Structure 1
Amino acid sequence: MKLTGRLEIKSYEKIKEFLFQEHVGRIASIDENGFPQIIPMNFAFPNDAIYMHSYTIGEKLDNINRNDKVGFEVDRELEFLPSYFSHPTDASQADTLYISVVIKGIASIVKDDTEKSLALNALMEKYQPEGHYDPLTKDDLVLDEVAVIKIVPQSIRGKYKIGQHMRPESRIILAQKILERNSPTSKKTLEIMGFKITDDGLKMVDDPIW
């Protein structure tokens, strides 16, 4: 199997889990001069659609009204792998462990107040899980003061690189090097790679194949 295929996330549940965890995505639309405009946005993913809130006027809304085909991307850098992990002096050996999801879809400005309130409540549930707010209803006047963008995916592709393409013995060696380097993200990265840190060292507890 080619490496590209081995980096593809096959599990839709893993993609949904990743989209729920990440706080920033980037919407790409086409401006009036034919150039792509890319903007970072907060987002939620209820009912298998991307929802974002926005001011009621703006270039991205104009772009969507003119051309409803958009892209949406979310990524997370897990761990930079320094070149010396693989070779003492060859800088080309540097690499990165990551997760990313790319969506192509049809965007619209939500008009229905019931759907707008659903989307905004989904955003609050995601970003303020501790609560301390009153959920919105379709009758709240504040709905008139905000725009909600919806993207219905036509395709969703996820890629990840957490060592799943490596032989088990090579994966363990890489995990040990990550542990020894002790970057601010190393412990979380090892967990995502399927390793647990024990008194006896690293132990593989999860299958990294998604």
Structure 2
Amino acid sequence: MQLVGILQIRSYEKIKEFLNEEHVGRVASIDSNGFPQIIPMNFVFLDDAIYMHSHVRGEKLDNISRNNKVGFEADRELEFLPSYFEDPHNASLADTLYISVVIKGIASFVSDREEKTLALNGLMEKYQPEGNYDPIQSDMRVLDAVSIIKIVPQTLHGKYKIGQHLKSEDKVKLAQNILKRNSSTAEQTLKIMGFEIVDGGLKMVDEPMW
């Protein structure tokens, strides 16, 4: 079976929702020797762009200054599927349910103070949604102490694998196996797959298509 099209996230809203939920993304730039450098970063997706804050000096900033073409990705492993779900002997049948978004884009350093303020407040709202802080203002000195990296996507692709490639009966069987294995992520994975746990069993309440 050709899975590529089935696994593609077609909903831009779902991609935005995923990026707004993920706390760590990875930005890839090219260093002075031509090697890719990948750095994990906190980020926020605002107005169709990725924003990250950084120290005002560093290798990734030097890389971007030389070559502003970058990669960015965020991913989430939902559930490892042990091979014995399918066969008690064939290790090659092990699999993973996941969500990922990959961006190729153009990076720049934000100099406009209003845009820097927007990005920093966006980061605070994402990572500290409970509040209990004074919003950053554009006249604050902190804006001069940080760099804001902005990535404008040239291409943006999302993939997800939550059992949508399976026949209904096989998807139910998979969900039952996940419930029985009872990993720390099982309940959340089943919810994403469209199942609810009812009286110790499973009920499909949605057929999510992204």
Q: What TM-score, normalized to structure 2?
A: 0.98
Q: Which whole-Å CA distance do the structure 1 matches of 2:2 and 2:96 have between them?
A: 19
2:47 aligns with 47
Q: 1:146: which partner in 2?
A: 146
Distance 1:109 1:182 in 2: 45
2-structure distance, mates of 1:143, 1:67? 24
Residue aligned with 2:124, SS: helix
Task: Give the C-alpha shift of residue 2 in structure 1.
Answer: 2.4
Mapped partners of 2:121, 2:184: distance in 1: 33
Shift of 1:25: 0.1
What's 1:59 paired with? 59
Residues 82-114 of structure 1: CA deviation (Å, up to 9, x unaligned): 000000111000000000000000000111010
Matched, 1:174 2:205: no
CA distance in 1, matches of 2:166, 2:93: 15
Of all paired residues, the percent bearing the same amino acid is 71
Look up the SS of the partner of 2:47 in the other structure.
helix
Query: Partner of 2:77 in structure 1?
Result: 77
Q: CA shift at 1:129, angstroms?
A: 0.3
Distance 2:88 2:52 in 1: 46
User: In the alignment, what sits opposite 1:19?
Assistant: 19
Question: Deviation string for 1:183-205 (max 9, x for gaps)?
Answer: 00000000000101112721111
Look up the match of 2:3: 3
* 1:101-120 → structure 2 map (5 Å cutoff): 101-120=101-120
Structure 1 residue 5 displacement after superposition: 0.8
The RMSD of aligned alpha carbons is 0.9
Q: Distance in 2 between matches of 1:7 and 1:200?
A: 30
Number of residues of Structure 1 aligned to a counterpart in Structure 2: 210
Residue equivalent to 1:134: 134
The two structures have a TM-score, normalised by structure 1, of: 0.98
Q: Which amino acid aligns with 1:68?
A: N
| Other-structure match for 1:34 | 34
Paired amino acid for 1:137? Q
